[in-house]
Amino acid sequence: MTGTLLTFPDPQQISLSIRASALIFADPESQKLLSLIERVAPSEATAYIKGETGTGKELVARHIHSLSPRRKGPFAAINCGAFSETLVESELFGYERGAFTGAVGSKTGWFESANGGTLFLDEIGDLPLSTQVKLLRVLQEREIVRIGSRKPTPIDVRLIAATNVNLEEAVKAGRFREDLYYRINVVPIPLAPLRERPGDILPLVEHFISIYKGRLHTKEPELHSDTIRLLLEYPWPGNIRELENTIHRALLVCDGNILRPTNLNLPITLPKNTFQDCLGSNDQASEDLCMLEKLFEQFFEQGHDELHELVQKKLVLQAYDHSRQNQVQAAKLLGISRNVLRTQLKHFGVID
């Protein structure tokens, strides 16, 4: 494996609940990302990580923190979409006793908890507009006011924000404040999806196999060549998180020393309008019927006006070629009579 591998232990140190998180910098796109991180990490600038769900935005944020002068301070991460509109402000800024019904004591918010370190606000686009106003003031004044208090508390926190939505579109739609957008978009860090950095896939697979084989007490399997091809060709809509879960499951169901494509349980994805090309090729059949069934499921979803005709033609011609144009053997392979086979061969223009 080439490139850089970074792993981040869970701060709770709970052995079996730790996700096998890893940030890989093997692909050229990831190398560019690493170069950008190394340039901006030592600064105090607010960073804005843009990327799809599952691409590792929190891992990038942790790496920025680890390379910054604040590395010895706390790193606090909060998902802004995990709290209701009534709770998110108390979580961010804290509250005083009696501030609202149920506030039987004072509580420190995440900004105060991260004092001297880094606060990572994931899915910042989910913040309600009323909270966005208060967050903007916190970033401008470098102080927070707990709910139920009139006393400002100075804070020394570096903010890293992230989202999987397009904040520019959210600003145009009025769902996100333009002034807050410019305040957090000081250092934009685009995080490419896994399908656009294929050089990271196999190193990640290697890492996840190493982690989960130890937890599951299994031997490290060899990757079948078709498995490698599928891993590299699959688009990974769930990105690194999906890849991790796929490898975890594959090791659970693998019953030998070889990890096969069926162990991955991935849907076969083909570009639209490629059915004719697939049937027109001389490629051998799929590894087993399970793979074939998944292939047909994909064809059904795409739709094709001549599906039955094309499948029948491919099947007959393959059997005929496999039997070296021996009609008796080809008919036997297909489980039909020779007369039926001859009729089909004539229909497809193979014989007169």
Q: Coil, helix or strand for 335? A: coil
Tell me the C-alpha distance between 70 and 65, whole Å.
7
Q: Where are the beta strands (DSSP E) in the chain?
A: 4-7, 22-25, 47-50, 75-79, 118-122, 143-145, 152-154, 158-163, 187-190, 222-223, 258-259
Q: What pLDDT does residue 272 have?
A: 44
Tokens at residue 311, please?
Answer: 């499948």
- The 10s digit of each residue's pLDDT in 142-174 is 999 998 888 999 999 999 999 998 999 999 999
- Stretches where the chain sits below pLDDT 50 are 1-2, 7-18, 270-287
Tokens at residue 295, please?
Answer: 């292939």
Q: By the 8 A CB rule, do 299 and 271 touch?
A: no
Instruction: Give me the residue spans of the domains in the chain.
Output: 28-194
User: Where is 328: in which H helix or E strand?
Assistant: helix 327-334
Q: What pLDDT does residue 218 have?
A: 84
- The 10s digit of each residue's pLDDT in 46-95 is 999 999 999 999 999 999 999 999 999 999 999 998 888 888 988 999 88
* pTM > 0.75: yes or no: no
Classified by CATH at the fold level, domain 28-194 comes out as Rossmann fold (3.40.50)
